[in-house]
Amino acid sequence: MKRSVWLALAFSVASMAAAKQVMAQTKKDTSAMINELISKMTLEEKVHMIHASSSFTSGGVPRLGIPELVTSDGPHGVRPEHGRDWNLDNNSLDSGSYLPTGVCLAATWNPQLGYAYGSVLGSEAAFRGKNVILGPGINIIRSPLNGRNFEYQSEDPFLVSKMVVGYIKGVQDQGISACVKHYAANNQETKRFTINVQMSERALREIYLPGFKAAVQVAGVNTLMSSYNKFRGQWASQNNYLLNQILKKEWGFKGLVMSDWDAVHNTMEALWNGMDLEMGTDLHMLPNPDYSKFFLGDTVVALVKSGRFPEYLLDEKVRRILYVMYKTNMINGKPLKGEYNTKAHQQTAAKVAEEGIVLLKNQNNFLPLDRSKIKSIAVIGYNAERKQSMGGGSSQIRAFYEVTPLAGIRNMAGNIKVNYAQGYDIKRDGGANDAMIAEAVEAAKKSDVVIMVGGWTHGFRYDVWKDNAFDAEDIDKVDMQMPFGQNELLKAVMKANPKTVVVLMGGGAIDMTQWIDQAPAILQAWYAGMEGGNAMAKIIFGQINPSGKLPMSFPKKLEDHGSQKLGEYPGDTTHLSVHYMDDIYVGYRYYDTYKVEPQFAFGHGLSYTTFAYSNLRLTTSGKRATATFTIKNTGKTAGAETVQLYVHQDKSALPRPEKELKGFNKVSLNPGEEKTISIEMDEDAFRYFSDVTNQWVMEPGSFQVLLGSSSRDIRLSGKINL
Ligand code: BGC
């Protein structure tokens, strides 16, 4: 080796050692500083730090320079401010960027966009003086009826694990803590405050926990929120197994655990079982809540004084809170300032929408619409002009602006005449009356093409009385039927003008069986944020080539769904328990294994171009494998394809799903361009959790590696032996 190379190597080893020393020193300094602070605190001051001090803050110790911890919802934007009485404080400047909701982000299958998304949130949270953003929400989409699916990401634990990391790092690189939620098994809103969830250890480990584990171990999330429900008989907020054993001991989580709002039920259990910070606003205490009366308030002072709870365990909770404060420069440094409503933030919102909207059906290349050939368009549907940002519950955003679908279409339409008809009202029964249908039919008849924008609509749980609380917190959907009489409306419109593009908004699947065969084109547009209307219109008119893929399966009918067939959703709502009998067969794991045809498969999403897959080579090394293949854009338009890699084990001691997602890669290609791609599989790609031995097992044998454009459109496959 040349002398210069040696020197460079020696230098870099020395500087690495120096950096390590500095890091160890800083670490020591931080823990020494934390210990010193704790040693100066009175018992009352310590207890003051482990419970809320207002709706969204927890107590500080001004005497020692310890600030309050300021949190804010939520997963897709910084929430408007609340007054002390919990009502919205409509007097402050509290708007923010309204990003597409979690499910749309997941539909991009683009972890880099997750990072950009998190950066916007972190930056705006910093600007608004927050320390913690209460997101991402990553509960597994187990039932299509869950009211919060729009906030969550996927039915698949691997996709969640990949998307969550970018989001959290994006937030935390802005000096703000992310708060992954709701840990764990909060997969329905029906009886969310009281339901006791039972599931096998295997389902817990394979399906419901991997996203949280990745949040802790890969992303290094600073804070975690426990859920409302019980898990195996014990509240999740005071659950020894979930919080102490798994999260803190097994995964080594160093940050703080906060409760969901008012989710703590018992002081002793919360104290002993891993809860660090009790949050919430007791609505019964309004308008003058006394936070010292919280479970982790004055009672704790009395318990420590009487020797019934050791002070060193209280110190441990305070230590975790201080650790997060040091990590985010709340105590010894300068918190970052952040930015507000910048062009770059708007562009991120746009990009996520453009990559997240999914083209479900496109018969004979009906889309994109050619503007030079169209003189008039009928836009039909209340969702076309409804602003959705304030819907949903705690994730509401006062958006700087929100481009509705109608506005987006108008922005793109140029000289094309737009004939708008509302079509239906948001009332569950009879929302589309004869007069409204007649008006819509009229608009459809006199227009060259129709764009019907409908689907679910974003309600608020307090809208229950208005019958429009879909995709909202604290309430599940009652069924999968298009609400507000839209089936009748759509059928009438399509009869009047078969050239109808159907755009569906919402957190997930809707029953399309009544009209799907007649619809030439269908888009799944989710709640696509403040630029959603522009993104949707750009896709319809071909300025953007769609590349979103479904992060969950869409069943044909509710009865087909695994959580209904096997799963006992929503459980026994009288005795407040639900057994996840669908076990590991969630989403496509169910459809594929039980041979049920979904309407649209997990991972499905069309493009305006076509892709050819070829030349698969599989190599192995120990317990790892690599799939290398070529992908080519064989059409005339630039586009992106998310190649998905699934693994099937030929023979295993315990039954396994037909296939499981273990890798993916989103590839952008110009017309005619081809790329060679490699996807690595580590041991995790082949293991499963055995309930019998209570551990992850890797059984030697043969595995099929399947590569495709969706879970049901496999283009290449090969076998490996491990
Ligand atoms: C929700 C959480 C939210 C909290 C604070 C709860 O009702 O479940 O997701 O972060 O309220 O608004």
266-294 residue pLDDT tens: 999 999 999 999 999 877 777 778 999 99
Q: Give 249 Cα–ligand 1 centroid separation in angstroms.
A: 26
Collapsing DSSP to helix, strand or coil, 70 comes out as: strand
Collapsing DSSP to helix, strand or coil, 163 comes out as: helix
Q: Give 408 Cα–ligand 1 centroid separation in angstroms.
A: 31
Quick check: CB of 151 below 6 Å from ligand 1? no
Rounded distance between C-alpha atoms, residue 120 and residue 126, angstroms: 10
Quick check: CB of 703 below 6 Å from ligand 1? no
Residue 591 backbone phi and psi in degrees, to 5: -55, -45
What is the band of 43 on the pLDDT scale with cuts at 50, 70, 90?
A: very high
Provide the percentage of residues in the chain whose pLDDT is more than 90.
86
What is the band of 21 on the pLDDT scale with cuts at 50, 70, 90?
A: low
Length of the chain: 722
Q: Give 467 Cα–ligand 1 centroid separation in angstroms.
A: 22
pLDDT in tens, 212-230: 999 999 999 999 999 999 9
* DSSP code of residue 157: H
| Burial class of residue 239 (count of CB atoms within 10 Å of its CB; 0-12, 13-18, 19+) | buried
Predicted local distance difference test score (pLDDT) of residue 286? 76
Predicted local distance difference test score (pLDDT) of residue 469? 73
Q: What is the mean pLDDT of residues 5-25?
A: 48
Collapsing DSSP to helix, strand or coil, 590 comes out as: helix
Predicted local distance difference test score (pLDDT) of residue 431? 77
Q: What is the mean pLDDT of residues 462-486?
A: 80
Q: Give 297 Cα–ligand 1 centroid separation in angstroms.
A: 20
Quick check: CB of 236 below 6 Å from ligand 1? no
Q: What is the dihedral of CA 652, 654, 659, 665, to 10 degrees?
A: -80
Rounded distance between C-alpha atoms, residue 493 and residue 447, angstroms: 11
pLDDT in tens, 84-100: 667 777 767 789 999 99
Quick check: CB of 71 below 6 Å from ligand 1? no
What is the band of 3 on the pLDDT scale with cuts at 50, 70, 90?
A: very low
What is the band of 1 on the pLDDT scale with cuts at 50, 70, 90?
A: very low
570 vs 87, more confident: 570
Quick check: CB of 57 below 6 Å from ligand 1? no
Q: What angle do CA 231, 237, 239 make, to 5 degrees?
A: 50
* Segments making up each domain of the chain, as ranges: 611-721
Provide the percentage of residues in the chain whose pLDDT is more than 70.
94
Asked if residue 465 has pLDDT above 60, the reply is: no
Rounded distance between C-alpha atoms, residue 479 and residue 460, angstroms: 17
| Burial class of residue 595 (count of CB atoms within 10 Å of its CB; 0-12, 13-18, 19+) | exposed
Predicted local distance difference test score (pLDDT) of residue 687? 98
Rounded distance between C-alpha atoms, residue 498 and residue 492, angstroms: 10
Q: What is the mean pLDDT of residues 151-178?
A: 98
Residue 513 backbone phi and psi in degrees, to 5: -60, -25
Asked if residue 428 has pLDDT above 70, the reply is: no
pLDDT in tens, 664-713: 999 999 999 999 999 999 999 999 999 999 999 999 999 999 999 999 99
Q: What is the residue whose two structure tokens read 């003051």?
A: 48
Asked if residue 55 has pLDDT above 70, the reply is: yes
pLDDT in tens, 125-152: 999 999 999 999 999 999 999 999 999 9
Collapsing DSSP to helix, strand or coil, 618 comes out as: strand
Substitution site in 134, 181, 262, 461 for ligand 1 pocket (most atoms within 8 Å of beta carbon): 134
Collapsing DSSP to helix, strand or coil, 232 comes out as: coil
Q: What is the mean pLDDT of residues 550-567?
A: 94
pLDDT in tens, 292-327: 999 999 999 999 999 999 999 999 999 999 999 999
Q: What is the mean pLDDT of residues 388-417?
A: 95
Nearest to 302 by CA among 399, 293, 192: 293
Predicted local distance difference test score (pLDDT) of residue 27? 62
Q: Which fold has domain 611-721?
A: Immunoglobulin-like (2.60.40)
Predicted local distance difference test score (pLDDT) of residue 19? 47
Mean pLDDT of all residues belonging to the chain:
93
pLDDT in tens, 322-344: 999 999 999 988 878 999 889 99
425 vs 37, more confident: 37
pTM metric for this prediction:
0.95
